[in-house]
Amino acid sequence: MKLAFSTLGVPGLPLPEVLRLATTHGYHGVELRAHPEEPVHPGLGPAQRADAAAAVRAAGVEVLSLAGYVRVAAPGDDAPVVEEIHGLLGLARDLGAPFVRVFPGADPNGSHAEADATAARRLATAAEYAADLGVRILLETHDSHRTAADAIRVLGLVGHRQVGSLWDVMYTWLGGEQPSETYAALSPYLGYVQVKDIASAQDTTPLPLGAGVLPLAECVEVLSRHGWDGWLCWEYEKRWYEAAPPLSGLLGPGREHLARLLNDSA
């Protein structure tokens, strides 16, 4: 498996510095948070995109994914949602990223069936454009659809190979799923896996990998046992927890922890 980290852990850091951290600490790739407050986002012009792509190639680091903030199950018109997905897909193509991340984001007080249908319709609409660009759209297990059982209700309706899943281990754990259950449901759709660690269900402040309660060893064991050979991406949510220690000092030990888990499960 290849290892990456998310720029959510180093908010606002210029891309060359992100790439330097990756190469210094032995990560194969990075997940770029594609938000306007970050250096890389869909509002970049052609020259800026070309410069970013050149920096990535020079560093020898892969851009695993663009982590967008589209909420595909949210109420409202379809057109702005699909347009936002298209913007992420175009940027991913320009940077050589194979994936873009989207959220469910359904109204918690609304109809589950209606939210599933809305998300599936929008994702299916964007899927052909994604296929043309060679990029996959991944629905993260998150917010209104935190478990694999939730996510596959949408993915089954879409039925297109360019739309898959992103397994966030925290949310499936919070939803009460065991790693074996999550993998069994998501395996036909799985793009990559986001790992992290927290103190408890009540305290989701990011911790160094291995210092919390999330079943990371079990997740890696399940993936290894089934011969899955994709990406593990450490999402350290420093952006939302300013008091959390800086990610830069944790990247080395974090990579070593993931390497031990991979070695133990081999």
- Rounded to an integer, the average pLDDT of 115-136 is 98
CB half-sphere exposure, 239, CA atoms < 13 A: 14
Would you give the distance in Å from CA 147 to the centre of its chain?
15
The amino acid at 35: H
Higher pLDDT, 264 or 15: 15
- Say if CB 33 and CB 7 are below 8 A apart: yes
The values of phi and psi at residue 34, to 5°, are -95, 75
Distance between CA atoms of 8 and 31, rounded to whole angstroms? 8
In this predicted structure, what is the pLDDT of residue 241? 94
70 neighbors 103 (Cβ within 8 angstroms): yes
Q: Which residue has the tokens 């020079």?
A: 58
pLDDT digits (tens, 9 = 90+) for 18-32: 999 999 999 999 999
Q: Does the structure show a pLDDT above 90 at 265?
A: no
Nearest-CA neighbor of 29 among 170, 191, 151, 163?
A: 191
- Residue 147, pLDDT > 80, answer yes
Q: What is the pLDDT of residues 38-61, one digit of tens each?
A: 999 999 999 999 999 999 999 999
Backbone angles phi, psi at 221, to 5 degrees: -65, -45
- Mean pLDDT rounded to a whole number for the chain: 97
Tens-place pLDDT, residues 178-231:
999 999 999 999 999 999 999 999 999 999 999 999 999 999 999 999 999 999
For domain 2-265, say whether CATH 3.40.50.720 is its number.
no
Task: Tell me the domain boundaries of the chain.
Answer: 2-265
The two beta strands, 190-195 and 231-234, are parallel
CA–CA dist 125, 45 (Å, integer): 25
E strand residue ranges, 107-260: 136-140, 163-168, 190-195, 231-234
For 100, phi then psi, to 5°, come to -125, 145
DSSP state of 96: T
